Chains A and B, each alone.
Chain A
Amino acid sequence: MSPAGTTATEWETVIGLEVHAELATRTKLFCGCPNRFGDEPNTNVCPVCLGLPGSLPVLNEQAVTLAMRLGRALHCEVRRSIFARKNYFYPDMPKNYQISQYDLPINVEGRLELPQSGSRVGIERAHIEEDTGKSTHVGGGGRIHEAGYSLIDYNRAGVPLLEIVSKPDLRSADDARAYVSELRAILLATGASDAKMEEGSLRVDANVSIRRPGDAFGTRCEIKNLNSLRSLGRAIEYEARRQIELVESGGTVRQETRHWNEDEGRTGTLRTKEEAEDYRYFPEPDLVPLDPGNEWIARVDAELPVLPAERRTALADAAGVAPNVTAVAIAVERRLDGLALAAIAAGGEPARVLTHVEHNLAVEGAEALDPAGLAALASMETSGELTATQAKEVLVEMVASGDDPATIAKAKGYEAMGADELAAAVDQVIAANADQWTRFVEGDDKVRGKLTGFFVGQVMEATNRRADGKAVTARLRERAGV
């Protein structure tokens, strides 16, 4: 599990994540401008989000509701919070301070359960803040210091963000990826965010340190610029290895912010603790304290959807498998668990239903599939009317046309092959390939395994792919007497 190679047993990687999720509100956090990605630059702006003199922020109620919804989904306590100003200069930040929450955030003390391992990750806080604009540095390789000039798009300025801070409870790159995937699933399920890492509506910073198991936490480094789950995993593995090598060669880890360079596959110093900004936080005087009160919290709770973990449990129970089975996780992730549950309820054989959801339904329109049709398809497979290969092709057609599987199977000429017909076809293929058959009968498991593929392929060809691969294999073994 540890990324640290040979020293894996001696060192433990400790990770805490800060995730920024853009809230899927209609308008921005403090003004009425549309919260929309991809529009012409600087078209969704007004005096408030441009920070023009005299303008004042007014809190967006929908942003608060979405923040609370995510908070409650993470089992947080929602409480009275106040906004604070985080002061620092940057050209894409219109007021040169960011309205955020500091010592009194809206959501505190929650938890998230990792789907595979089932381990619980503490959520320290999930607070509301505004996003900045987006700078594009032209010339000089896109870095601000070498750029010829910079363009700033303020459409993103003032877009509501939720910063979700985990406790340092993660222990590996896999943990970290699983945490972000699950958090993403919860963000999607609650409708709090569209959580697209590629569009920047979900951004992750990782705090990484190392220690000997049982020791106090080591000095952490914060890694920025993690734009995909892959980057997140690679960066954590690199950073843990860097710190271990540093410590083992007699050095000490310096607390600093580091930048992940995806092309070079390494992190580099962005700024040290000494260079860190003093943000001079103080309570935002332009906004009043935010006290949602029990009634609002109760309303949020009542409107909370069934969460991914519960959905996984429900599907796993129905299918008679463990909740951490991959197919179950995928079904929920793709929001196909409802389809799977209905298909199982309609008599579909659970294993086949899950197999289809996991492998054959990563297509558009899958969620609109008729569960009774999927159940019928599974039954046709178990009864031997359709082979797995045929079923897959029928399924594609079902999604595309909406027809029932029997109709499609008939149109495709997939008639069930009787046991006698299949036996005859196998015998014919054996007769035509005497050399291979001798090797099959006399060979060991390895040889036989290889040749099984050959014989099945020959039978498939001879029967116009109507034969069931499993039945062919069984017949071959029967004939060989093994």
Chain B
Amino acid sequence: MTASTDTALDIAATVRAGTRPAVDVVDEHLAVIEALDGEIHAFNLVLADEAREAALAIDRRVAAGEDPGPLAGVPVALKDNLCTAGVPTTCSSRILEGWRPPYDATVVEKLADAGAIVIGKTNLDEFAMGSSTENSAFGPTCNPHDTSKVPGGSSGGSAAAVAAGFAALGLGSDTGGSIRQPAALCGVVGMKPTYGRVSRYGLVAFASSLDQIGPFSRTVADAAALYQVIAGHDPCDATSIPEPVPDVRAGLVEGVAGLRVGVVTELCEAEGIQPDVMARVRQAIDALEDAGAKVDEVSVPAVVYGLTAYYLINPAEASSNLARYDGVRFGLRVDAPTTGEMYDRTRTAGFGAEVERRIMLGTYALSAGYYDAFYGKAQRVRTLIIRDLDAAYERFDVLVGPTAPSTAFPFGAKTADPLTMYLNDVCTIPSNLSGHPAISVPFGTGDDGLPVGVQVMAPALGEATLFRAAAAVEAAAPRGKEDA
């Protein structure tokens, strides 16, 4: 059994043309999942019946001569923190045991409108807190390139599903790098849109001012196609950007001649960046220059404080967002004689160690007397990072650097010390703090033969330029070593 390597655009083209039934596409992917997911564990739940039913409906529309949508028949792996009506949505946490949302996330509705088919709900670090999926209450996901290694996280399930050919597309959420880092480790494309570009309605909140939903795919063109479907204003999300979404697909073939590319010194020299990873990044930068881009080094001084600021803002918001898991209305309840004890027992039984850690950190950071020193100062750092990035974008159209410091690491390598795990996000966090779009594009492998990702960043609403630069990186990427 080999994994399906068809791109989403190929699948949609054949399904729309009526030359390949959507139900066949789904069955082929289900067969691959059936054969391989026992080892990979990308999915918390495979929606075989629902996916086949949806495929049959697509096929009926095609037969009736109706437009089945731009992503007709394309299987999508959905991160299990996106709400699906009537279908369990767990966030890979015990605390949501038995909960079925009564509504679909806006992105799920948009997928259905586009003819895409949700084939399953994918594993993640509990409530998206982590960088390896090891924090899932249902066990970790394995990296399809080497099952002794992590797939990254928190959207490790979606990244692995796309890498393993379980689905042509995936959706994840990126709070501090949770799409881009697993994309890098699994050798796929992963993109975080501008904050507010994609509605968060129906995304189970982790850190609301940082969370953003974005695509996984095996090609940049597929990522752009999925972005085009999910982006746009949503009246159900007050932070959603009301401006129309320009078509980002047309520019993919335009090349990067004349594009001003800044290489961020502080990200390339960040703590723990492996030399073999950096060598690939340099190779990608050279390729952009060869393709006509104007490349220069740029210093963005405040990004070195990004990790610290992030690990105050993120737990602070998380501690509040996760307060609703109290056993009163939904999910797990461990009964007790008093309401207070019921809260304690439910939350103790329902949350894993990392979630508890963030709740405690965040509660502390927001406490009276500490707010200014922690949360307040972190927000000021955030303002500084935005200011420094804005200054850089006056001189450059896009910025580049590594996505993750290393290639995929072995299970257990970073679980003992949370700080070493947090350092995985050092290159991805600045874009979350600034709200800017960023993408990770696979670019060859490290010394261990595992994938390396190159990160491209753009200013707010600069997605068209972002995808254009990403396509150029993709075109220059070395081939044939992914299965090494």
Contacts and interface: CB of A to CB of B under 8 A. Distances in A.
Contacts of B205: 53-54, 286
B314 to A, nearest CB: 11
B201 interface: yes
B229 to A, nearest CB: 19
Interface string B299-332: 0000000000000000011011001101011100
Interface string B332-359: 0000001100010000000000000000
B399 interface: no
Contacts of A54: 81-83, 89, 101, 103, 105, 201-205
B42 interface: no
A58 B324 CA distance: 18
A446 to B, nearest CB: 67
A96 B202 contact: no
Interface residues of A, number: 31
Contact of A89 (B204, B343, B371): B343
Contacts of B236: 56, 58
A50 B83 contact: no
Interface string B82-100: 1100000101000010010
B218 interface: no
Contacts of A52: 101-103, 329-330
A54 B319 CA distance: 15
Nearest to B83: A54
A44 to B, nearest CB: 15
Interface in A213-268: none
B52 interface: no
B143 to A, nearest CB: 28
B41 interface: no
A304 B320 CA distance: 38
B83 A53 contact: yes
A273 to B, nearest CB: 12
Nearest to B376: A282
Interface string A277-316: 0101110011110000000000000000000000000000
Contact of A287 (B102, B235, B238): B238
A282 B356 CA distance: 20
Nearest to A31: B236
B209 interface: yes
Contact of B324 (A53, A281, A286): A53
Nearest to B379: A283
B475 to A, nearest CB: 37
A11 interface: no
Contacts of B473: none
A96 B96 contact: no
Nearest to B95: A53
B101 A59 contact: no
A146 to B, nearest CB: 11
A281 B81 CA distance: 26
Interface string B355-379: 0000000010011100100010000
B82 to A, nearest CB: 8
B239 interface: yes
Contacts of B323: 87, 89, 95-97
B324 A91 contact: no
Interface residues of B, number: 44
A55 B82 CA distance: 11
Interface string B172-205: 0000000000000000000000000000111111
Interface in B81-136: 81-83, 89, 91, 96, 99, 101-103, 105
B320 A282 contact: yes
Nearest to A96: B323
Interface in A37-94: 47, 50-59, 85, 87, 89, 91, 94
A97 B320 contact: yes
Nearest to A47: B103
A87 B366 contact: yes
B208 interface: yes
Contacts of B328: 91, 152
Nearest to B364: A280
Contacts of A96: 323-324, 326
B237 interface: yes
Contacts of B89: 53-54
B238 A288 contact: yes
B211 to A, nearest CB: 9
B337 to A, nearest CB: 10
Interface in A2-57: 47, 50-57
Contact of B238 (A59, A91, A94): A59
Contacts of B330: 52-53
B235 A286 contact: no
A171 to B, nearest CB: 32
Given A54-B83, A87-B320, A47 B102 contact: yes
Contacts of B105: 54
Contacts of B91: 53
A144 interface: yes
Nearest to A288: B238
A286 B239 contact: yes
A204 to B, nearest CB: 26
A282 B203 contact: no
Contact of B237 (A56, A97, A145, A150): A56
Contacts of A286: 205, 208, 238-239
Given A285-B208, A288-B239, A56 B201 contact: yes
A280 B320 contact: yes
A56 B339 contact: no
Contacts of A150: 339
A285 B317 contact: yes
Contact of B201 (A50, A55, A85): A55
A17 B420 CA distance: 52
A52 B329 CA distance: 9
A280 B201 contact: no
A150 B323 CA distance: 20
Nearest to B331: A53
Contact of B200 (A56, A278, A282): A56
B339 A282 contact: no
Contacts of A85: 320
Given A54-B201, A56-B237, 20 more contacts: A52-B101, A52-B330, A53-B101, A53-B330, A54-B81, A54-B105, A54-B203, A56-B236, A58-B235, A87-B319, A89-B343, A91-B339, A145-B338, A280-B368, A282-B371, A285-B239, A286-B205, A286-B208, A286-B238, A286-B239
Interface of A: 47, 50-59, 85, 87, 89, 91, 94-97, 144-145, 150, 152, 278, 280-282, 285-288
24 contacts: A47-B102, A51-B324, A52-B103, A53-B89, A53-B101, A54-B89, A54-B103, A56-B200, A56-B237, A58-B235, A58-B236, A59-B238, A87-B320, A89-B323, A91-B328, A96-B326, A150-B339, A280-B368, A281-B366, A281-B371, A285-B209, A285-B317, A286-B239, A287-B238
The 4 A-B residue pairs with the shortest CB-CB distance in the complex, in nearest-first order: A96-B323, A280-B366, A285-B209, A285-B208
Interface of B: 81-83, 89, 91, 96, 99, 101-103, 105, 200-205, 207-209, 235-239, 316-317, 319-320, 323-324, 326, 328-330, 338-339, 343, 363, 366-368, 371, 375
